[in-house]
Amino acid sequence: MRRRPPGGPPGIMARMGMRTGTRTGAGPERQGPMWAAGEAYEPYVGRWSRLVAARFVRRLDAAPGGSWRDVGCGTGAVTQAVLDAAEPADVIGVDPSQDYLAYARRHVADRRARFLRADAEHLPFTGSSASAVVSGLVLNFVPDPARAAAEMVRVVRPGRLVGVYLWDYGEGGMEAIRAFWDAATALDPGARALDEAVRFPLCTRAALGGLLAGAGLRDVRTEETRVPTPFRDFADYWTPFLGGQGPAPAYLAGLPEDHRARLRERLRAALPRAADGTIALHARAWAARGRRAA
C-alpha cells in the first residue's frame, strides 16, 4: 500500500502553496493562492480582524496628523481603523496581492488613503519617512519576520511608533480555528503539520515583543485584545471554511468529499451551541508596540 504524504490527503501541501511551516515567496498573510480573494477572506476572519484593528489603533494613542504606513494591508481593515481613530494626514497601505489591493481600494473611500503593491521585507519608502508604521495579522506569513520588522523600523521616524498584532494561535486564543484543527487532527493526524499553532511560533506575547525589541525598538509593550466571535448557527461557522482562504480552508478544499463530511459532522457535534443554535466563541490577538530610538 502506498503511504500518504504528511499533512493530509495527497496534493494538499502543493495546493496550499506551502513548504513546511512558512508560505512560499515573500510578503504578508494574503500572498499567494492561499490568500487570494478579499470576498472570501472577509466572512472567514475579516469580520473579526476589523474589531481587533479598531481596538489596536485606539490603544496606540498616537498623535494626530502625520503619515502612516500599513504593512500587509490586505482588505484595508487596519488602514480604515487608522482613518477612523488616528486623524492621520495620510495612510499608505502595501500588500503583494493585487486582488486584496483592489478590494481595499473599492472599500476604503477616504482620499487620505492609497495602496501600493509591495511586500513586507522590501518596503518602497525612504528611511525615516513615516510618523507611524503598523501591521496586522501579517508577520506569521512573512518568510523573514526579523527583516520585515527591521524594515518597519527603518521607515518610521526616530521617536515614533511601530505597532503589530497577530492572532493567538499558540495558546488557543482563536477558538473557531482551534476547534477546526482539533477535529481535523482527530481524523487525520497528519493535519497537525498545517495547524497554525504548530507552524507559527511568533504568535505569543513573548515572541512578538521580542521581535520588536530585537529590531531595535525602545519601550516595547505587549498586550492582549479579546473579541467575541459569535455565529448565528453552524452554517455561519462552517460556510466560510469553504472559501479556500487561509490554512484551514485550504486544507479543507483538498479533502475528499467523504472526509470533508466527517469533519463537518465532528465539528457540528463538538461546538458549544445554545438552545437557539447560536455558537458563542472568542478570539484573542497579541499586540506589541515600541518606539524607534531617537
CB atoms within 10 A of CB 189: 11
Residues contacting residue 43 through CB under 8 Å, at least 6 positions apart: 239, 240, 243
The pLDDT value given to residue 245: 79
Residue 12, pLDDT > 70, answer no
Give tens-digit pLDDT for 102-159: 999 999 999 999 999 999 999 999 999 999 999 999 999 999 999 999 999 999 999 9
Residues contacting residue 2 through CB under 8 Å, at least 6 positions apart: none
Q: Contact 83/64 with Cβ under 8 angstroms?
A: no
Query: Can you tell me whether residue 62 is helix, strand or coil?
Result: coil
Query: Can you tell me whether residue 189 is helix, strand or coil?
Result: helix
The pLDDT value given to residue 48: 84
Give tens-digit pLDDT for 173-224: 999 999 999 999 999 999 999 999 999 999 999 999 999 999 999 999 999 9
232, amino acid identity:
R
| 164 phi, psi to nearest 5 deg | -140, 155
Q: Contact 41/252 with Cβ under 8 angstroms?
A: no
Q: Return the H-helix or E-strand segment holding 162.
A: strand 156-167
The domain ranges of the chain are 12-292
Ramachandran bin of 266, using left for φ above 0, alpha for ψ from -120 to 50, beta for the remaining angles: alpha
Provide the mean pLDDT of the chain: 87
Q: Which CATH architecture has domain 12-292?
A: 3-Layer(aba) Sandwich (3.40)
